[in-house]
Structure 1
Amino acid sequence: MMIGLVLSWTAPAHAQRRELQLLSDAETEHIIREMVRPIFEAAGIVPEAVNIVLVNDKTINAFVAGGQNIFIHTGLLLQADNAGQLIGVIAHETGHIAGGHLVRGNEAMENAFLSSLIGLGLGVVGGLASGNAGAGAAGLMLGQHLAERNFLSFSRAQESSADQAGLSYLEQSKMSAQGMLTFLEKLGADEPVFTDRDVGYRLTHPLTRERIDTVRNFVQRSRFTDRPVPAKAEDGFERIQAKLLAFLDPLAALRRYRPEDRSIVARYGRAYAYFRQGDVRNALPLADGLIAEEPRNAFFHEMKGDLMLQTGRPTEALAPFRKAIELAPDSAPIRVSLAHALLERNDPRNADEAIRNLQVASRTQGRSAFLWRLMAQAYSLKGDQGMLAYATAEEALARGDRAMARVHAERAEKLLPAGSPGWIRAQDIRGLAGPGPGEKRN
Structure 2
Amino acid sequence: MRKPSRLVSVVAMVAVMVLSWTPPAGAQRRQEMQLLSDAETEHIIRDMARPIFQAAGIDAAAVNIILVNDNTINAFVAGGQNIFLHTGLLLNVDDAGQLLGVIAHETGHIAGGHLVRGADAMENAFLSSLIGMGIGVLGGIAAKNAGAGAAGLMLGQHLAERNFLSFSRSQESSADQAGLSYLEQSGISARGMETFLEKLGVNEDPLLTSDPDAGYRRTHPLTRERLDSVERFVANSRYGNRPIPAAWNEQFRRIQAKLYAYLDPNGALRRYRADDPSFVARYGRAYAYFRRGEVKQALPLVDGLIAQEPKNPFMYEVKGDLMLQTGRAPDAVAPYRKAIELQPDANSIRVSLAHALLEQNDPRLADEALKNLQVAAKSQQGQSSFLWRLQAQAWSMKGNNGMVAYATAEEAFARGDKPMARAQAERAEKLLPAGSPGWLRAQDIRGQAGGK
What is the TM-score when the length of structure 1 is the normalising length?
Answer: 0.94
Inter-partner Cα distance in structure 2 for 1:280 and 1:400: 36
Deviations along 1:38-89, one digit per CA (max 9) or x if unpaired, are: 1000000000111111111111111111111111111111010111100111
Verify the 8 A CA contact 1:84 1:180 in the aligned structure 2: yes
1:142 and 1:127, CA in 2 relative to 1: closer, same or farther beyond 3 A? same
User: Are residues 1:237 and 2:280 paired?
Assistant: no
Give 1:404 shift. 1.2
SS at match of 2:260: helix
Alpha-carbon spacing, 1:375–1:130, altered in 2? closer, same or farther (3 Å): farther
SS in 1 for 2:34: strand
Distance 1:104 1:93 in 2: 16
- Of 31, 39, 51 in structure 2, the residue corresponding to residue 26 of structure 1 is 39
Kept after mapping to 2: 8 A contact 1:22/1:56 = yes
1:395 aligns with 2:411: yes
Residue 9 of structure 2 is matched in structure 1 by: none
Contact 2:35 2:138 in 1 (8 A): no
Taking the TM superposition and a 5 Å limit, the aligned residue runs for 1:103-118 are 103-104=116-117, 107-118=120-131
CA–CA distance in 2 between the matches of 1:11 and 1:405? Answer: 22
How many residue pairs align between the two structures? 434
Question: 2:112 matched to 1:96?
Answer: no
Deviation of residue 252 (structure 1)?
1.2
Please give the secondary structure, in 2, of the residue aligned with 1:36: helix
Q: Which residue of 1 aligns with 2:392?
A: 376
Q: Which amino acid aligns with 2:248?
A: A
Distance between the aligned counterparts of 1:431 and 1:131, measured in 2? Answer: 39
Q: Which residue of 2 aligns with 1:74?
A: 87
Q: Which moved further from structure 2: 251-260 or 125-134?
A: 125-134
**Partner residue, 2:10:** none
- The one-letter amino acid of 2:225's match is E
Which residue identity does 1:388 align to in structure 2?
V
Q: CA RMSD in A?
A: 1.9
* Structure 2 counterpart of 1:44, one-letter code: G
Separation in structure 1 between the aligned mates of residue 101 and residue 431 of structure 2, nearest angstrom: 54
Partner of 2:156: 141
Residue deviations 1:214-272 (CA, integer Å, cap 9, x gap): 11111110111111111221111101100000011111111110011111100111111
1:299 aligns with 2:309: no
Q: CA deviation at 1:155?
A: 0.7
Change (3 A) 1:245 1:135: closer
Contact 2:42–2:65 (Cα < 8 Å) also in 1:
yes
Say yes or no: does 1:325 pair with 2:340: yes
Q: Does 1:223 align with 2:238?
A: yes
- Cα distance, 1:121 vs. partner? 5.0
- Higher mean alpha-carbon deviation, 82-91 vs 397-406, is at 397-406
Structure 1 residue runs without a partner (length 5+):
437-442
- Of 273, 278, 298 in structure 2, the residue corresponding to residue 283 of structure 1 is 298
Query: Deviations for 1:301-322, whole angstroms, at most 9, x for unmatched residues?
Result: 0000000000000000000000
- In structure 2, what is the Cα distance between the partners aligned to 1:130 and 1:429? 34
- 1:7 alignment partner in structure 2: 17
State the distance in 1 between where 2:148 and 2:401 align: 23
Contact map agreement 1:55 1:74 (CA 8 A) in 2: yes
Structure with the larger RCO, 1 or 2 (CA within 8 Å, 6+ apart): 2
C-alpha change, 1:228 and 1:344, in structure 2 (3 Å) is same
Q: Percent sequence identity over matched residues? A: 69
CA distance in 2, matches of 1:131, 1:388: 30
Q: Which residue number corresponds to residue 259 of structure 1?
A: 274
- Structure 1 equivalent of residue 5 of structure 2: none
Distance 1:96 1:122, change over 3 A: closer
Which 5+ residue runs of structure 2 have no aligned equivalent? Answer: 3-12
What one-letter code is carried by the residue in structure 1 that aligns with 2:32?
E
Aligned partner letter, 1:7: M
Q: Conserved in 2, the CA contact under 8 Å of 1:122 and 1:369?
A: no
Tell me what 1:440 maps to. none
Q: How does 1:177-196 map to 2 (within 5 A)?
A: 177-188=190-201, 190-192=203-205, 194-196=209-211
Change beyond 3 A, Cα 1:224–1:235: same
